[in-house]
Amino acid sequence: MFMKKAFAAVLATAVLVAGAVEAKDLRVASNTTFPPFEFVNTQTGEVSGFEMDLVRAVGKELGAKIEFQVLSFDAIIPAMLSGTVEMGAAGFSITEERKKRVLYSDPFYTSGLSLVTTKAKAGAVKSMKDLEGKTIGVQIGTTSHNAAKKVKGAKIVTFNTAGEAILDLSIGGSDAVINDRPVTAYIMTQQPKLGAQLVHQPETYSADDFAFVFRKDQSALKDEVNAALAKLKSNGEYDKIYEKWFGKN
């Protein structure tokens, strides 16, 4: 009788544990103004983009239901540290400053910064050196913002999104915008009238590795996500997602 009861207790515990895994939610904060990595599809209302598809694929590997929470970029890490969400996915570059506050997953994308300016100013604004003493538009709290701070004598104008910074540039609000190259290219492609007014300079600066972020006490979750990323890369699923958004390059 004792053995039967013990077996029943073990079985019940196993069922509860299995149920907890199957019902597990992973709350992920993102700033959906960073196409093609994350944005809201205006036709479906769905959170879309390369990084969002990758998060969903990771969730599938973990057996977790992904719950996206849309926040401003500079509010994501505070929300994560407070326990509102478990993970941040918003084109986070790996920096030594952020490492003091968060854990990073393995990198999933390497990007870099570039300059975009108007056709009228393209001849005079070709490099970071040319921005000294000029007005620079950036998305607040990003590596682009940090890069602008290093430009001697520059006036920095901050925006909640890169798209707003580029739109402001087009109407003369700044001399140039510093932003992640793939994002700038995507914005200009998706808005051809806007893109026709601008010049995306060819030089790329400070290659950045993008990764997901976690609280310092979530090393186990970080390890699970890293294992899922490794599997997605080995089984070809990562390549499929990449080609969907960036093509075979």
Q: What is the pTM of this model?
A: 0.69
pLDDT of res. 248: 66
pLDDT of res. 223: 98
Helix extents (H) in the chain: 2-22, 50-62, 73-81, 96-99, 143-149, 162-170, 181-190, 192-195, 219-234, 237-246
pLDDT of res. 11: 38
For the stretch 147-201, pLDDT in tens is: 999 999 999 999 999 999 999 999 999 999 999 998 898 888 888 899 899 999 9
For the purposes of burial, counting CB atoms within 10 Å of the CB of 183, is it exposed (0-12), middle (13-18) or buried (19 or more)? buried
**Contact between residue 229 and residue 53 where contact means Cβ atoms under 8 Å apart:** no
DSSP string, 117-134: EEGGGTTT-SSGGGGTTS
pLDDT of res. 34: 87
CA distances (Å), origin 69, targets 12, 88, 90, 172? 34, 9, 11, 34
Residues with pLDDT less than 70, the chain? 1-23, 247-249
Between CA 55 and CA 125 the distance in angstroms is 37
How many secondary structure helices (H) and strands (E) does the chain include?
Answer: 10, 14
> Coil, helix or strand for 163?
helix
Average pLDDT, the chain: 89
Using a pLDDT cut of 70, give the percent of the chain over it: 90
